[in-house]
Amino acid sequence: MPHNRPVTPRFYGPDAERPGDLVGLPEEEAAHLTRVLRLGAGAVVRVFNGRGSEFEAVVEAARRGRVHLRLGAARAPAPEPRVAVTLAQAVLKGDRMDQVVRDGVMMGVAAVQPMVTARTEVGLATLRRSRRRERWARIAVSSAKQCGRATVPPILEPRLFAEVAAALAHMSLPGPGLMLVEPSFADGAQPLAELDVAPPRETTIVIGPEGGWDAAEIERAAAACRLVTLGGRTLRADVMGLVALAALYAAWREF
């Protein structure tokens, strides 16, 4: 019977730049290498810098939570999508936003823009006090490690929906955006299957909260976004982005 090849562990090292460099790992990555995987000096690993580069590496020192690696040859990471998609997602309850970030990074988004909408149950001040953005950034690193990406997409500063709509209108976020709306909203909305399949260079997908959009938000966004539906079923807010990304990437022949 065929034997599966052992998977070479991957680590995030933002200082990794060129073969031959000696680089240290961040504290959490060092702990994963030494305490979880129990690797030590001489171990062969891979390290990616979050900006698209990945290298073979050998552990030169691993003690007291400090790990240093000697970089070897550059390696080809998983390819990035041709279309740079920013996922603008209304912040969801509990740990559902964690899953959205994890899935979005796995699918290949270029950035994640958390939003507070009229029906979002948490405000900007609470998000900042609880350091949710920092948590989501750690999840983005973990997801990139798991899926083979060498690029860690940024988690942008959470913003009010009105600010996101204005940024789309003024092209400081990639546009025109695609705003996903409920099937019950028929006026001006277009089924995703009827969109032009020619892939854009970049775009923003805008996903609402559990309670859906209010009418004023849809009206505000209509000038900067194309309103899109996904069939006749109402999908949960925490899976809408994943389904939309999968459908669009298939249409754009990313898969």
- List residues bridging with 55 in a β-sheet: 47, 74
In the prediction, which pLDDT does 4 show? 59
Q: What is the mean pLDDT of residues 32-51?
A: 95
Q: What is the pLDDT of residues 142-161, one digit of tens each?
A: 999 999 999 999 999 999 99
Q: How far apart are CA 168 and CA 182, in angstroms?
A: 21
pTM: 0.92
Distances in whole angstroms, Cα of residue 59 to Cα of each of 102, 151, 175, 238: 28, 22, 44, 39
pLDDT band per the 50, 70, 90 thresholds, residue 13: very high
As beta bridge partners, residue 24 has: 68
Residue 148, CA atoms < 13 Å, CB-side half-sphere: 10
Nearest partner of 153 among 113, 202, 187, judged by Cα: 113
Do 142 and 13 touch, CB atoms closer than 8 A?
Answer: no
Instruction: List Cβ neighbours of 196 (8 Å cut-off, separation of 6 or more).
Output: none
Domains parsed from the chain with CATH numbers: 10-75 (2.40.240.20), 84-251 (3.40.1280.10)
